[in-house]
Amino acid sequence: RRDMAIRVLLLAGALLALACSHGATASDPSLLQDFCVADKMSPVRVNGLACKDAKEVTAEDFYFSGLHVTGNTTNKQGSAVTAVNVAQIGGLNTMGVSLVRIDYAPFGLNPPHTHPRSTEILTVLEGCLHVGFVTSNPDNKHFEKVLNKGDVFVFPKGLVHYQYNNGTTHAVVLAALSSQNPGVITVANAVFGAEPSIPAGVTTKAFQVEKGTVDWIQAQF
């Protein structure tokens, strides 16, 4: 019995180790050094960016100035995103976090989009926003909320979400994202603004509309 118990424990340990090893490869690994400032001039191609020589790193590699500047919202959507990710701060490389400021003109919209690599947590600094996200198939449940100054809302990773300024004054938010490079896919741009265009037979069947309607929408992009 004792031998059997030892074998069971050893087997359990082996299975646990195997599970942990699989878990480690399923997400970003932990840092193996204090930082890995992005070397944007490196020809090396990795999942992320190659590290700059630590001896060449300065405080400027962890710094950005500009989030106090109001974004230009004179566009069709009436919104402007100021991103602070690894492209702006090389020190964010391998850190798994980034930031955006979003400005909204009265009735401005940050249209339905997804971040394929990131959860987002947003806080309203000024104004009032109607926000929401939609769950995956088959439910496609719509969660929505009206946010006021100081309110916080979370958009789960990969889900379609939006923000709409339903007020008559300018609105501003700060949002943190759980990736150094969260990516963004704006639904309308991806479907109707793709180059080359998605075949008409696909879009007309998917949206159950006539080709003329699809052509008109595509012309907007």
State yes or no: 110 annotated in a binding site: yes
| CA angle (153 as vertex; 111, 97 as ends), nearest 5 | 85
State yes or no: 115 annotated in a binding site: yes
Collapsing DSSP states into helix, strand and coil, what is residue 162?
strand
State yes or no: 210 annotated in a binding site: no
Q: Does the structural domain 54-183 have CATH classification 2.60.120.10?
A: yes
d(CA 148, CA 151): 6
**C-beta contacts of 184-188 below 8 A and 24+ residues apart:** 184/113, 184/114, 184/115, 185/113, 185/114, 185/115, 185/116, 186/111, 186/112, 186/113, 187/111, 187/112, 187/113, 187/114, 187/160, 188/111, 188/112, 188/217, 188/221
pLDDT tens over the chain, length 221 residues: 545 444 544 444 544 444 444 444 444 556 778 999 999 889 888 888 899 999 999 999 999 999 999 999 999 999 999 999 999 999 999 999 999 999 999 999 999 999 999 999 999 999 999 999 999 999 999 999 999 999 999 999 999 999 999 999 999 999 999 999 999 999 999 999 999 999 999 999 999 999 999 999 999 99
Half-sphere exposure of 141 (CA within 13 A, CB side): 2
Structural domain boundaries in the chain: 54-183, 184-220
**Amino acid (one-letter) located at 175:** A
Q: Give the pLDDT of residue 11.
A: 44
The structure tokens listed for 136 are: 């995956």
State yes or no: 120 annotated in a binding site: yes
Collapsing DSSP states into helix, strand and coil, what is residue 171?
strand
d(CA 123, CA 120): 10
Count the neighbouring beta carbons within 10 Å of the beta carbon of residue 117.
17
Collapsing DSSP states into helix, strand and coil, what is residue 191?
helix
State yes or no: 113 annotated in a binding site: yes
